[in-house]
Chain A
Amino acid sequence: EAQVTQNPRYLITVTGKKLTVTCSQNMNHEYMSWYRQDPGLGLRQIYYSMNVEVTDKGDVPEGYKVSRKEKRNFPLILESPSPNQTSLYFCASSLSSGNSYEQYFGPGTRLTVT
């Protein structure tokens, strides 16, 4: 089954404790992206990757890191989480051919930082 998976789905952590949210897709998509969803703000792009070893900042990259060592995986790293990073996070992937970038979303990770 074609899908984007994220782990963990739910996480409660404390300020300053490094964490990684994994994202994996099995559709051989070149493009992957991370978004956060906050009430009243819509989905905001954190980072995106056009292919292996190619990443770039989205609109809200502060406090986050990403890496793309393999085509299928795009982990999101919070080196020192803070309460303002409490949010619902979505990973997405798409083909980059045709330039449409129709996004396939993962199930979401709900993160709470206390």
Chain B
Amino acid sequence: ILNVEQSPQSLHVQEGDSTNFTCSFPSSNFYALHWYRWETAKSPEALFVMTLNGDEKKKGRISATLNTKEGYSYLYIKGSQPEDSATYLCALGSIQGAQKLVFGQGTRLTINP
């Protein structure tokens, strides 16, 4: 079973501050890297799917970068707002099967007003 690591496991940030967190994966198995946002009592929602080394994607104040050679992706949130509080999941689609997603344990982000 592939290992996808996310760090930190939890993060508390003041409203208005920017933050980032990491997803690490085995670079030799890379096919696609997914980011999902999961709010409490809801279901995970897709933020980004990235497939190319050097990919950068942006959605509003949230952006992500991808380095497939070294096996990591960063998720950035600029000017955090209380509605950004959620668990952020990354998932690896591997060359053994892009449809067999392996998820990290998530980074739980809390924005303090």
Shortest Cβ gap from B73 to chain A (Å): 15
Within 8 Å by CB of A101, from B99, B102, B104, lies: B99
Of A33, A59, A96, A100, the residue contacting B49 (CB under 8 A) is: A100
> In the bound complex, how far is the Cα of B104 from the Cα of A108, in angstroms?
18
Complex: how many Å from CA A59 to CA B49? 21
Q: How many residues of A contact B (CB 8 A)?
A: 25
Q: Which residues of B contact A64 (CB under 8 A)?
A: none
Q: How far is the CA of A112 from the CA of B93 in the complex (A)?
A: 30
Closest to A108 in B: B43
Contact A105 B103 (CB under 8 A): no
Measured in the bound complex, the distance between the Cα atoms of B93 and A31 in whole Å is 14
Contact status B104-A99, CB under 8 Å: no
Which of B32, B98, B105 sits near A42, CB closer than 8 Å? B105
Q: Which residue of B is nearest A31, CB measured?
A: B99
CA distance A58 to B94 in the complex (A): 13
A50 surroundings in chain B (CB, below 8 A) = 99
Residue in contact with B103 in the complex, picked from A40, A42, A101, CB distance below 8 Å: A42
Beyond A42-B105, A108-B43, is A102–B100 a contact (Cβ under 8 Å)?
A: no
Known pairs A44-B103, A45-B102, A103-B46 / 9 extra A-B pairs, C-beta < 8 Å: A31-B99, A33-B101, A42-B89, A96-B99, A99-B31, A101-B32, A102-B46, A105-B44, A107-B43
Which 10 residue pairs of A and B lie closest in terms of their CB atoms, listed nearest first?
Answer: A105-B43, A43-B103, A42-B105, A100-B49, A42-B103, A102-B46, A102-B49, A105-B44, A101-B99, A107-B43
B residues touching A (Cβ–Cβ < 8 Å)? Answer: 1, 4, 31-32, 34, 36, 42-46, 49, 51, 89, 91, 93, 98-106
